[in-house]
Amino acid sequence: MLAELAELKKKMEGPIEALMKEFAGLRTGRAHPSLLEPLPVEAYGGRIPLSQTATVSVVDARCLLIQVWDKILVKSVEKALCLSDLGVNPLTEGQTLRVVLPELSEERRRDLCKVVNKYTEQARIALRTIRREGMDKVKRREKDKEISEDERKKQEAEIQKALDAAIARVDALGTQKEKEIMKL
């Protein structure tokens, strides 16, 4: 059972890591290269992340500098930035784009908090699904007479304990991200 519980806990890390990646793409008022990493760019007949077409660096607290590697892709990167929900207008200088992030309004901050709540709920749902799979496996083992009823209850309690710890971590990450967003 210990190996199965360790495997279940490892599975529970997946939704938490996905949540942290989602949070990295949310603006908190400060410029950060991860804001632009997932941005899809039309390039070479397909859509690829901005991080595979350019280098993004921070100039100051509200300004990012994008150095596009291929001259042909400058217009595509510029278009992707304009179409994004970041509300930015890039300034193009050759193969370099300068992006000045606007100050977050109170309304935009509230909208971002709603997105944070949506992401945390998706992570909770994913975690509960993993728990259900673990519980089903334990019940199947009891039905197949591999374990006793007492052992099943003990394993279910361990699985629930692992879920509670993972959800507490997700909630803490969500609360921390909301504080970052609401901080002026």
Residue 82, pLDDT score: 85
Residue 123, pLDDT score: 95
Token digits of residue 184: 């002026």
Instruction: Calculate ∠ Cα 163-148-5, nearest 5°.
Output: 30
The mean per-residue pLDDT over the stretch 159-170 comes to 95
pLDDT in tens, 66-115: 999 989 899 999 998 888 767 778 888 998 999 888 777 888 788 888 88
For the chain, the structural domain boundaries read 2-24+105-182, 33-100
The reply to whether 33-100 shares the fold of 2-24+105-182 is no
Query: 33-100 — its CATH code?
Result: 3.30.1360.40
Q: With a cut of 70, say whether residue 27 has pLDDT above it.
A: no
**pLDDT class for 24, splitting at 50, 70, 90?**
confident
The mean per-residue pLDDT over the stretch 13-18 comes to 93
The SS3 call for residue 93 is: strand
Instruction: Calculate ∠ Cα 130-176-17, nearest 5°.
Output: 35
Distances in Å between the Cα of 78 and the Cα atoms of 21, 40, 86 are: 23, 11, 13
Residue 22, pLDDT score: 83
pLDDT in tens, 110-158: 888 888 999 999 999 999 999 999 999 999 999 998 989 999 999 999 9
Q: Which residues of 91-104 are buried (b: 16+ CB within 10 A; e: fewer)?
A: eeeebebebebeeb
Residue 29, pLDDT score: 64
Residue 1, pLDDT score: 62
Domain formed by 2-24+105-182, architecture: Orthogonal Bundle (1.10)
Sign of the C-alpha dihedral computed for residues 73, 79, 83 and 84 taken in this order: positive
